[in-house]
Amino acid sequence: MTKSNFALKTNPGNFFEDFSVGQTLAHATPRTVTGGDVALYTALYGGRFAIHSSDEFARELGLPRSPVDDLLVFHVVFGKTVPDVSLNAVANLGYAECRFGVPVYPGDTLSTRSEVIGLRATSDGHNGVVHVRSTGRNQRGEIVLDYVRWVMVRKGDAAAIVAGVPSPALAPALKPAGLAVPSDLDAARFDTGASGSPFRWGDYAAGERIDHVDGMTIEEAEHMLATRLYQNTARVHFDRHRQESDRFGRRLVYGGHVISLARALSFNGLANAFRVAGINAGAHVAPTFAGDTIYAWSEILDVAALPPRTDIGALRVRTVATRNQLAAAFPRRGPDGKYDPSVVLDLDYWVLMPR
């Protein structure tokens, strides 16, 4: 796809040469999150975490009601950025320094701003990699999510020269002390009978691996509903006609869809991981398509106390999602350093869990 020579009132999206380091983007269309969004999120991914399912469970912990699932917040904040950042994307490549802030509740209105922090042309000259830091805030200006992502974006003019700016230095992992813990939440009253698992923070150890056992098949209608629901208008997900002439010949499933599926699958083994507090790193290793069945396994990378809190601890978890292959073999990288062909997602993140 190339830029049009005509003056248009429509938005063609930014191409790689349209970005500059330091550029700020105020994304359009603030979004009020409703109970309908929560219901549709559950219908799409089947999450069973009790704190997101029951107002009474949440109130028992001191919250006013069930908070919105953290990854639903991610979808909404991310979706705002697409028309300006990744409408002309080839692929979303990864995430880092992703911090979730104050809880979001139905009725909150979210908006997003981004800053371009890195640019790098690809060796073939047809595309470039854009690093952006995006920040989502609620109607009170409080941060609900702050994260970095990098995305490969097409050039509109193949001859355009873009001065490369080194990719920013990113922290390999968030420090546990910097994770946001809701101040009004008292996990000492966490009901493990209602949550579905007896295992608390102290029952996990670094190095432990968990096969989440279950699998979910992605239907064409589901991933298309998700892209519309979160207003992710990237053409690689939306436009079947154009994608038929692309290298894969079909639409790609939105990467966030796979993240949410993996998180939902992780309930079987991590049912009391009631909040995703941060994402250290994430990579969409390979594309996913309608008809693929997603499985997942997790490894506990670290077990961290959160002083002065004595009711809550943090687990650093790496969840690997596979397509069309059971996770019991724990596939990830082979001896040659390359990912197993079945791996589609490698996500390193922090979760909060009652002690």
Mean pLDDT value across residues 318-328: 96
Contacts of residue 77, defined as CB under 8 A and 6 or more positions apart, other chains included, come to 110, 112, 134, 136, 144, 145
| pLDDT the model gives residue 268 | 98
How do the domains of the chain map onto residue ranges? 1-164, 197-355
Could you tell me the pLDDT band of residue 49, with boundaries at 50, 70 and 90?
very high
Looking at residue 349, what is its pLDDT? Answer: 98
Query: Each residue of 54-103: pLDDT tens digit?
Result: 999 999 999 999 999 999 999 999 999 999 998 888 888 889 999 999 99
Q: Are 98 and 147 in contact (CB under 8 A)?
A: yes
Matching fold, domains 1-164 and 197-355: yes
CATH of range 1-164; options 3.30.200.20, 3.40.50.300, 3.50.50.60, 3.10.129.10: 3.10.129.10
* Helix or strand holding residue 158 (H, E): none
Token duo for residue 129: 């990699």
Higher pLDDT, 3 or 86: 86
| CATH number of this structure's domain 197-355, picked from the four choices 3.90.550.10, 3.10.129.10, 3.40.50.12280, 3.10.110.10 | 3.10.129.10
Whole-number Å distance between alpha carbons of 340 and 326: 12
| Residue 218 identity (one-letter amino acid) | I
Q: What is the pLDDT of residue 181?
A: 94
238-283: pLDDT as tens digits:
777 777 777 787 888 989 999 999 999 999 999 999 999 999 999 8
Determine how β-strand 109-121 pairs with β-strand 127-137. Answer: antiparallel
- Full-model pTM: 0.91
d(CA 267, CA 120): 38
| Tens of pLDDT, residues 171-207 | 999 999 999 999 899 999 999 999 999 999 999 999 9
Most confident of the ranges 85-94, 104-113, 227-236, 241-250: 104-113
Q: What is the pLDDT of residue 251?
A: 87
Q: How far is it, in rounded angstroms, from Cα 129 to Cα 148?
A: 13
Residues 98 and 37: their CA atoms lie apart, in Å, by 22
